[in-house]
């Protein structure tokens, strides 16, 4: 069976040839000179963008966001404590970098909703993600039955509530069955529910 154009593009991203590696280096030089978040005309990875819901029509907007790699870096502590409790290195965040990139993009474009995002490049210091955004007030989006679900108020600020694919992965919702009993609806909500159930009832007054 013959492969489609998108399959060839995907294969080139999975195992890049020499020309693709050279092109990626040239892109990195350009990306480093840009701002942290820039709007782009078309997706760099058309296969990945299409798979995640992008369509080349009015109402869809693309942006590329830069995020610093690594965990949290704290300042050195001046007050006295043992070395074990200094807490400078090896401090990781509860969110993945892709989710943080989506949140920062959402803050810059508050009138748009984040649909999804995907990785495009990284170096020793930064990672770049391209974010697919949708205008929920655009007439073509409202008239499209495949995407007008995002116009509902229930999806307002979905990137900040962990409802995108990267957000669900960060919350552990792609784990199902045995070992994932405490993940739903969320780890914090599960803890609060169990805490209430374990609290003994006060004795009745006679």
pLDDT in tens, 119-147: 999 999 999 999 999 999 999 999 999 99
String of DSSP letters for 106-161: HHH-TTSEEEEEEEEEE-SSEEEEEEEEE-TT-HHHHT-TTTGGGGSGGGTTTTTT
- Structural domain contains residue 180: no
- Structural domain contains residue 188: no
pLDDT class of 201 with cuts at 50, 70, 90: low
Q: Which domain holds residue 120?
A: 5-156
For the chain, how many structural domains are there in total?
1
- Structural domain contains residue 174: no
pLDDT in tens, 90-108: 788 888 999 999 999 999 9
- pTM, whole model, 2 decimals? 0.85
Mean pLDDT of the chain: 91
Gap between the Cα atoms of 102 and 142, Å rounded: 23
- Structural domain contains residue 81: yes
Q: Does residue 52 have a cis peptide bond before it, meaning omega lies within 30 degrees of 0?
A: no
Question: Starting from the edge strand earliest in sequence, which strands make up the sheet with 126-134, in order?
Answer: 37-40, 60-68, 126-134, 113-122
- Structural domain contains residue 39: yes
pLDDT at 206: 64
Write the CATH number for 109: 3.40.1120.10
- Structural domain contains residue 192: no
Query: In this structure, are residues 99 and 170 in contact, taking their beta carbons and an 8 Å threshold?
Result: yes
Gap between the Cα atoms of 44 and 31, Å rounded: 12
- Structural domain contains residue 164: no
């Amino acid at each position: 069976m013959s492969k489609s154009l998108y399959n060839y593009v995907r294969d080139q991203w999975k195992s890049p040839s020499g020309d693709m590696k050279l092109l990626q280096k040239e892109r990195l030089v350009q990306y480093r000179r840009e701002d942290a978040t820039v709007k782009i005309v078309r997706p760099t990875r058309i296969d990945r963008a299409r798979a995640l819901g992008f369509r080349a029509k009015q109402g869809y907007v693309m942006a590329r966001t830069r995020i610093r790699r690594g965990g949290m870096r704290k300042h050195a502590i001046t007050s006295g404590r043992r070395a074990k409790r200094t807490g400078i290195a090896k401090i990781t965040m509860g969110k993945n970098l892709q989710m943080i990139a989506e949140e920062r993009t959402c803050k810059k474009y508050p009138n748009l909703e984040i649909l999804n995002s995907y990785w495009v490049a990284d170096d020793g210091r930064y990672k770049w993600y391209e974010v697919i955004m949708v205008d929920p007030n655009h007439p073509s989006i409202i008239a499209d039955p495949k995407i007008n679900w995002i116009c509902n108020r229930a999806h307002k600020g979905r990137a900040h509530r962990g409802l995108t694919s990267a957000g669900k992965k960060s919350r552990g919702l792609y784990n199902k069955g045995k070992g994932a009993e405490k993940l739903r609806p969320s780890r914090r909500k599960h803890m609060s529910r169990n805490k209430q159930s374990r609290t003994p009832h006060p004795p009745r007054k006679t």
